[in-house]
Structure 1
């Protein structure tokens, strides 16, 4: 894939560049200050931008939409040749939303959730579950269960007598801890990919694809061991 197509430009003002690329003037200035976009050519006091600025800005926009941070984009520009920039966007686009997520989300009417939990699912608890990233409230008032299996676990815990508030609290703790683990794993992978003089888009795709079973397998393998260790510690303290 090549970089996002932008019509030829020549001697554009910052306002015209913003109109052409769909990036705000404020963000263009911010990207320039951050070193992602070269400074404009000056004609007197007027800053002028050209096709190179527009092409790079279109790529920045694409990368930002795929979730890349400013520092990550800076490192990509600094270490990856321009010839692979478009390939990296293609990899990010193809992986986004589909690489690690193994379940298909299920949309459930809010009334159905309220009925299932017999009044325990208050707006406050639903907001907590949403904030933890376990559910998503849709504009039409329905709720998207991002992990139906996790919802089933919650129901089974409730069947054992745990109040819904405690179940959501357990899931909040789990989500918070696993989010930290995930960030560390992904940052380590990103650092590895950006360590060389150039980025190999094909190797990037292969590494990310193989990382999926390794990451989820590591959590599945480690959690029972840690759970048993914590149980043993709890029993010793209670003795």
Structure 2
């Protein structure tokens, strides 16, 4: 995997050229407000001062290009700070290449399905209220689209919800169960990914190809661990519940 050139055509700045913050914003496509925010957050070095005028150069433009790329791939401010703090500058381009190759498609195994809000309401016989739809969307399991339709991010999970309803569970309770599950799994996923990231950033150099391979191999291990552990934990909790009821 080849790393992208650090500055792109629209972010390249001559090493001898110094820019005002407004000129840097125009050159890089990053707003003045965000440039200042990145500086305050420690992601961007302070400008060189000429009197009261702050001047920016090539290093600022290159780092802004990387910040913008990582932000586009979904990295948060804290994650970018960790990358800049723990990985050498020579590895940043490789990390961007990895992010480009795996973002949005590595762990998602289902193709989302789009349904109309009317069809979704019909499935639940009027139980799907706007408030419940908002809750389901906040859990991250479905998404309301601008045209009013609903994107089911996991069609299989939607089918499971319908089967639970067939057992007599009200939709509100089904969504409550999914909210709890999503919250717990999100915490688990963050811990897994943070551990992987810490391992990848531990060395002096980042091997982009090895990183992509490690993440690819981690996918079935992560999902397999959840599938293996949940039945055991479910049985343990059932046994505990029965003991309390006895």
**In structure 1, the residue corresponding to 2:54 is in which secondary structure?**
strand
Contact 2:4–2:93 (8 Å) recurs in 1: yes
How many residue pairs get aligned? The number is 239
Contact 1:4–1:55 (8 Å) recurs in 2: no
CA RMSD across the alignment: 1.9
What runs of 5+ residues in structure 1 fail to find an aligned partner? none
Alpha-carbon offset, residue 197 of structure 1: 2.2
Larger mean CA deviation between 150-159 and 56-65 belongs to 56-65
Contact 2:139–2:182 (8 Å) recurs in 1: yes
Alpha-carbon offset, residue 72 of structure 1: 2.7
Alpha-carbon offset, residue 66 of structure 1: 1.2
Contact 1:62–1:89 (8 Å) recurs in 2: yes
Deviations 1:104-153 (A, max 9, x none): 00000100011111101111111110111111000000000000000000
Larger mean CA deviation between 194-203 and 132-141 belongs to 194-203
**In structure 2, the residue corresponding to 1:107 is in which secondary structure?**
strand
Alpha-carbon offset, residue 2 of structure 1: 7.5
Aligned mates of 1:114, 1:34 — CA distance in 2: 45
**In structure 2, the residue corresponding to 1:102 is in which secondary structure?**
coil
Contact 2:114–2:152 (8 Å) recurs in 1: yes
Alpha-carbon offset, residue 7 of structure 1: 7.7
Alpha-carbon offset, residue 4 of structure 1: 6.6
Contact 1:105–1:147 (8 Å) recurs in 2: yes
Q: Normalising to structure 2: TM-score of the pair?
A: 0.91
Larger mean CA deviation between 212-221 and 49-58 belongs to 49-58
Q: Normalising to structure 1: TM-score of the pair?
A: 0.93
Contact 1:4–1:59 (8 Å) recurs in 2: no
Larger mean CA deviation between 146-155 and 3-12 belongs to 3-12
**CA pair 37-234 structure 1, distance change in 2 beyond 3 A:** same
